[in-house]
Amino acid sequence: MTVTDRFLKYISFDTQSDENATTTPSTEKQMLLAQALKAECESLGLTEISLDENAYLMATLPPSPSTVDPVPVIGFIAHLDTSPDMSGANVKPGIVENYDGKNIVLNETENIILSPKMFPELLEHVGEDIIVTDGTTLLGADDKAGIAEIMTAIQYLINHPEIKHGKIRIAFNPDEEIGLGASKFDVEKFSCDWAYTMDGGEVGELEYENFNAAAAKVKIKGLNVHPGYAKDKMRNAGLIAMQFAGMLPPQERPEHTAGYEGFFHLTGMKSTVEEAELSYIVRDHDAAKFERRLKQLEEITRYLNTVYPDAIQLEIKQQYRNMREIVEPHKHIIDLAINAMKEAGVTPIVRPIRGGTDGAQLSFKGLPCPNIFAGGLNFHGRYEWVPVQSMEKAVQVIVNIIKLNR
């Protein structure tokens, strides 16, 4: 089975996670994919296969019989879920063969077009075979491309016993998209010296720095009075919410930032006169700046509560931290990935993640875990796409890492 065959099979599973759930996995449908992958691991003859009640699947490719000298145990990890931002149900993929650099019509009826004017990175993949959606769902390359690449690499090693290798561990986990992918990941059970998440974007990406991250909810209590008699009585929660949002610096939103710059991102809002709620994610690579951002939210809350007594409640939930401080002392695992990419004809692009990865939390749980490209682009929306050739390169990189680990 090719990496493309696997990918198309996996995206047929709707595995969208739910940030409002209190269970793990946050949606039972993630378990369905985990069970299918468990069966596939069994059919490949892998060992130490385990699938727990929380949808964490682990398996082992045993070392080559002739391996005598101790070889570090490496793991490869990808996540089962797709983003809550857009439906992942009934994905209808299409393959644009030998892409010619022009507009790709995803959905003629709804006039949904994937255009190089809007997404110029398309032009870097002219001549390749691009998998797209029909514009009504996301594709699911984040991170089913990663799953397909890991499984295909394992099959390749099984089919080529002449490639000598140590023990390889693989794992697939739920709920990465809602920041909980590593929350119940048993690092001790996984038992690796280090690992890589296959969860990056463009070919060549290699990341061991990520945002410090938190989620914030601003809950506002208003007072509704008949508008004809509201003078000096009404307290409009929706307007207070607008005032709160307006006190954050507009230049520090995602659409105005890049590189190491952090941001406040308003991800949702709902309001009536009586009640309002703002949902934010807060991000910064620099730990001190990150803490200042959280204090800024607290200061705005305190100020507005003096204007509108006890109207605002702020809830901050820490999500993950920058893994650089954990991974950097183990620079050899970065060098190994760089060399594996070069042997695959891939130019390494080492840069910070403008987002998060399970690898960040896993690193702080004792498993150094950089992030490697999976090849997909425009995640979390209808314009998501992945070149077949990018997934094939990712498979080569995994195999090369394993070959070079001596």
Active-site positions read 81, 176
Q: Cis bond leading into 25, ω under 30°?
A: yes
**DSSP codes of every residue in 58-98:** EEEEPPPTT--S----EEEEEE--B-TTS--SS---EEETT
d(CA 171, CA 150): 9
d(CA 79, CA 174): 6
> Please, are residues 105 and 350 in contact by the beta-carbon 8 Å criterion?
no
Q: Would you call 216 helix, strand, or coil by DSSP? A: strand
d(CA 354, CA 265): 13
> Please, are residues 386 and 130 in contact by the beta-carbon 8 Å criterion?
yes
CB atoms inside a 10 Å sphere around CB 223: 14
* Residue appearing with tokens 């890049």: 258
H-run or E-run covering 10:
helix 3-10
First to last CA, the chain: 28
**DSSP codes of every residue in 292-336:** HHHHHHHHHHHHHHHHTTT-EEEEEEEEE--THHHHGGGHHHHHH
Distances (CA, A) of 104 to 3, 4, 100, 108, 151: 23, 20, 9, 10, 30
d(CA 376, CA 8): 14
CB atoms inside a 10 Å sphere around CB 214: 22
